[in-house]
Amino acid sequence: MKKISILLFVLAISLAACKNEKKESKTEATPEAATAVKYVVKPQGTSVKWTAYKTTEKLPVGGEFKILKFENKTGATPEEALNNLSFSIPVSSVFTNDATNTRDAKIRASFFGAMLDTEFLKGTIKYNNGSYSAAITMNGVTSDLPLDVKITEERRVVMTGVMNLKDWNALGALESLNKVCFDLHKGSDGVSKTWEDVAIEVKTFLREN
């Protein structure tokens, strides 16, 4: 009987020791998990602006897209959060703050309307060996747009690049736009011209998740 009692006592001590070990392991893992920081792009703090050019003097015409949709993606670093981040832009959200209230309709109908798949512009941001680019699908064509990316200590991100419309087979759409804006795109030399390069600027903010 004594042997059984001693055996039960030893078993109880062993079980208690195992429980304490598990508790200690759990306590040690908690601070490590708490220090893990993840970054996510904040759609509410994102703007997409573009600058096109007209006349032989290359006068700028600025505009933006009022709506930009991101997938929900996080990363352990800003670069990881941006890499493979997919987005879509409704063409209908184009806005140029034109006083005549006619330019936006012309861009939607005569430029984007002359393309294939006119509802959305879609793309994916890529980060590879210290360089950024965006694989953008427009007019049924996917082409890479090299990006210059700056990330501040406050986690603010500025991405800039220059689209050449011929890379998306969009020169026909550009010609269509120039026809409806023929007189408006004339310079002092009387020549009507719409340039095929468009400057892009995207500003966003990476919040900690």
- pLDDT tens digits, one per residue of 71-128: 878 899 999 999 999 999 999 999 999 988 899 999 999 999 999 988 999 999 999 9
- CB 112 within 8 Å of CB 121: no
| Residues 57, 31 share a domain | no
End-to-end Cα, the chain, rounded Å: 60
Query: How far is residue 121's CA from residue 53's CA, in Å, rounded to a whole number?
Result: 20
Let me know: does 200 contact 162? Beta carbons within 8 Å. yes
Give the contacts of 135 (CB within 8 A, at least 6 positions apart): 123, 124, 126, 142, 143, 144, 145
Residue 173 pLDDT greater than 90, yes or no: yes
Looking at the structure, tell me whether residues 94 and 190 fall in a common domain.
Answer: yes
Half-sphere exposure of 87 (CA within 13 A, CB side): 25
β-pair partners for 163: 198
Whether 2 has a pLDDT exceeding 80, the answer reads no
Are residues 50 and 119 part of one domain? yes
- Beta-carbon contacts of 124 under 8 Å, excluding residues fewer than 6 positions away, are 84, 85, 86, 87, 134, 135
**pLDDT for residue 134 is more than 90:** yes
Q: What is the pLDDT of residues 35-69, one digit of tens each?
A: 566 898 887 788 999 999 999 999 999 999 999 98
Do residues 28 and 51 both lie within one domain? no
Do 45 and 86 share a domain, yes or no? yes
Tell me which residue range forms the domain holding 10: 1-35
| Together in a domain, 64 and 16 | no
CB distance 176 to 139 below 8 Å: no
Residues 161 and 138 in one domain: yes
State whether 53 and 1 are in the same domain.
no
Number of domains within the chain: 2
Q: Are residues 173 and 200 in the same domain?
A: yes
CA dihedral 98, 101, 102, 106 (to 10 degrees): 70
Specify the pLDDT at position 101. Answer: 87
66 and 166 belong to one structural domain: yes
